[in-house]
């Protein structure tokens, strides 16, 4: 039988096809991106969370207006550390370059009465009030949620009306929680709807496009990097050093008006290939701008990303520069990585993240001398699992969208020394005496690029060797 039967799933056999042990020919992957089986306490987020929390959320200078009861509206604070360099601390309207994305929670706070009589007027007033309080905001994004989608509020019309009044762009994203099986659908919807809206906006406002004289032959967009704990600080300079100009990042630390220039680059470099390949593909179809897929974690993968970029441009000087940068960067981190590798060698690792980092990281663990024993994703698709199984050893346990019982059984059977996991599961895992590392927003990043690898190795080392685990194990 291709699938792996977990004890905890005897009473919910529909879960069996979501669990596999990687075999020698690596031909079997778990079923994925399927509706949650009733009775399975999934840990997935909703599609709105994917649109607001992942793809739209990192845009620094806009009003993120959540058209919802306050429950969904509260989904703003304390979520991902997709950091930005806007000011977070001054009163609104005092400084230019204000950050709005993590600081304020904007919501229409719909009540029962609004649900009965409609919330469009409330949305319009909330947007006007938000723009008045924050005159520095460049634009607004309206996020539709389950309740406002069910009553059929026309958020696009409100966006047009408010945009006309304030003279700034307002983009309406209809990605209610129920529109897909997980947050992954929200990534898709944001990409698709933003691209469609951007085309129209550029047509009506050609002045927002990059002027010919401002373009260079080496303009690229970094697509699908959300600047988790300042990953961009270790990534962008690498590309700049080899001679390309990073015009835009979709959407880490980005500014709304700059994103309108996405189709003005020569090449899109796609990092998160689950949440953002959609827009790269749409730009390829619409503007004939190609994209390449890269992984920017660890030495080998980051080096390959630089080589692939230089190769795409076909510029001999750039290829040479890429080799020099790889050499310099590898040399700079070598002593630290060797020190950590000696102490981490042989440790067993379980990885549970959204999706792509689960296949970005096995190579990184290998570079640090560790062994991946289990891989899990919250919203991975077929392509994610195909990549995962290719990058891990036969015998590795793979679980699609695991629930708490499956995680417990995984700990018992795979016996990981460390669990790279998100915020929700870490307390459960620690109760088993297994150290965790926050792979969702990191402990003290950045973790990407060459220099980020040292931080990643340090945090793994600190998690593994913290004396508390010795005491915890004795206790339990």
For ligand SF4, the closer CB: 68 or 460 = 68
Rule CB under 6 A: choose which of 177, 224, 354, 445 binds ligand SF4.
177
Has 179 been annotated as catalytic?
no
User: Cβ 137 to ligand SF4, closest distance in Å?
Assistant: 23
27: exposed, middle or buried (Cβ count in 10 Å: 0-12, 13-18, 19+): exposed
Alpha-carbon distance of 224 to 250, in angstroms, equals 6
User: Cβ 36 to ligand SF4, closest distance in Å?
Assistant: 12
Alpha-carbon distance of 41 to 424, in angstroms, equals 13
- Closest residue to ligand SF4, based on beta-carbon distance: 177
For ligand SF4, the closer CB: 72 or 222 = 72
For ligand SF4, the closer CB: 100 or 145 = 145
For ligand SF4, the closer CB: 74 or 201 = 74
Q: Does 260 bind ligand SF4 (CB under 6 A)?
A: no
For ligand SF4, the closer CB: 67 or 363 = 67
Q: Is-cis flag, bond preceding 105, omega within 30?
A: no
Residue 12 DSSP code: -
Has 46 been annotated as catalytic?
yes
Instruction: Please tell me the number of Cα atoms within 13 Å of 169 on its side-chain side.
Output: 24
User: Cβ 156 to ligand SF4, closest distance in Å?
Assistant: 18
Q: Can you spell out the DSSP letters for 292-317?
A: EE---BSHHHHHHHHHHHHHHHT-HH
Q: Does 46 bind ligand SF4 (CB under 6 A)?
A: yes
Alpha-carbon distance of 473 to 476, in angstroms, equals 5
Q: Does 106 bind ligand SF4 (CB under 6 A)?
A: no
Rule CB under 6 A: choose which of 16, 145, 227, 295 binds ligand SF4.
145
Has 140 been annotated as catalytic?
no
Alpha-carbon distance of 274 to 42, in angstroms, equals 20
Rule CB under 6 A: choose which of 176, 180, 263, 354 binds ligand SF4.
176
455 within 8 A of 446, measured Cβ to Cβ: yes
For ligand SF4, the closer CB: 147 or 253 = 147
Count CB-CB contacts under 10 A for residue 214: 11
Alpha-carbon distance of 371 to 388, in angstroms, equals 14
389 within 8 A of 411, measured Cβ to Cβ: no
Q: Does 151 bind ligand SF4 (CB under 6 A)?
A: no
Q: Does 105 bind ligand SF4 (CB under 6 A)?
A: no
Q: Does 48 bind ligand SF4 (CB under 6 A)?
A: yes
Instruction: Please tell me the number of Cα atoms within 13 Å of 321 on its side-chain side.
Output: 17
Q: Does 356 bind ligand SF4 (CB under 6 A)?
A: no
Has 72 been annotated as catalytic?
no
Place of tokens 């040399």: 331
Q: Does 56 bind ligand SF4 (CB under 6 A)?
A: no
Show which residues are catalytic.
Answer: 46, 49, 80, 187
Residues in touch with ligand SF4 (CB under 6 A): 46, 48, 68, 72, 145-146, 176-177
């Amino acid at each position: 039988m291709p699938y792996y039967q977990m004890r905890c799933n005897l009473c919910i056999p529909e879960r069996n096809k979501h669990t596999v042990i990687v075999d020698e020919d690596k031909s079997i992957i778990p079923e994925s991106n399927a509706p949650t089986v009733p009775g399975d306490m999934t840990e997935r987020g909703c599609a709105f969370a994917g649109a607001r929390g992942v793809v739209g959320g990192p845009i620094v200078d806009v009003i993120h207006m959540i058209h919802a009861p306050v429950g969904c509206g509260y989904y703003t604070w304390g979520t991902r550390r997709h950091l930005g360099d806007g000011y977070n601390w001054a009163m609104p309207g005092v400084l230019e370059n204000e950050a709005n994305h993590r600081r304020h929670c904007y919501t229409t706070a719909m009540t029962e009465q609004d649900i009965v009589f409609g919330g469009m007027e409330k949305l319009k007033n909330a947007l006007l009030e938000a723009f008045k309080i924050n005159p520095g905001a460049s634009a607004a994004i309206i996020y539709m949620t389950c309740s406002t989608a069910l009553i059929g509020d026309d958020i696009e019309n409100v966006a047009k009306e408010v945009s006309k009044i304030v003279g700034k762009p307002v983009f309406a994203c209809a990605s209610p929680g129920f529109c897909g099986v997980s947050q992954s659908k929200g990534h898709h919807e944001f990409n698709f709807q933003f691209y469609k809206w951007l085309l129209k906006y550029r047509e009506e406002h050609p002045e927002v496009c990059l002027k010919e004289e401002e373009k260079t032959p080496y303009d690229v967009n970094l697509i699908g990097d959300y600047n988790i704990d300042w990953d961009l600080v270790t990534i962008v300079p690498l590309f700049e050093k080899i001679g390309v100009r990073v015009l835009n990042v979709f959407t880490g630390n980005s500014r709304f008006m700059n994103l309108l220039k996405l189709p003005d680059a020569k090449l899109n470099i796609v990092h998160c290939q689950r949440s953002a390949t959609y827009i790269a593909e749409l730009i390829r179809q619409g503007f004939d701008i190609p994209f390449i897929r890269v992984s920017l974690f660890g030495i080998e993968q980051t080096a390959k990303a630089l080589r692939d970029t230089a190769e795409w441009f076909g510029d001999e000087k750039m290829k040479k520069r890429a080799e020099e940068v790889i050499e310099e960067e590898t040399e700079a981190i070598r002593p630290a990585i060797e020190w950590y590798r000696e102490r981490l060698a042989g440790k067993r690792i379980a990885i549970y993240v959204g999706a792509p980092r689960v296949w970005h990281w096995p190579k990184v663990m290998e570079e640090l001398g560790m062994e991946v024993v289990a891989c899990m994703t919250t919203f991975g698709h077929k392509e994610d699992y195909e990549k995962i199984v290719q990058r891990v050893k036969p015998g590795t346990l793979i679980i699609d969208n695991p629930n708490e019982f499956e995680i417990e059984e995984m700990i018992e059977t795979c016996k990981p020394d460390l669990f790279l996991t998100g915020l929700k599961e870490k307390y459960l895992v620690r109760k088993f005496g297994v150290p965790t590392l926050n792979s969702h927003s990191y402990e003290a990043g950045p973790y990407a690029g060459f220099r980020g690898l040292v931080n990643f190795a340090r945090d793994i080392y600190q998690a593994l060797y913290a004396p508390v685990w010795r005491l915890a194990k004795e206790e339990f």
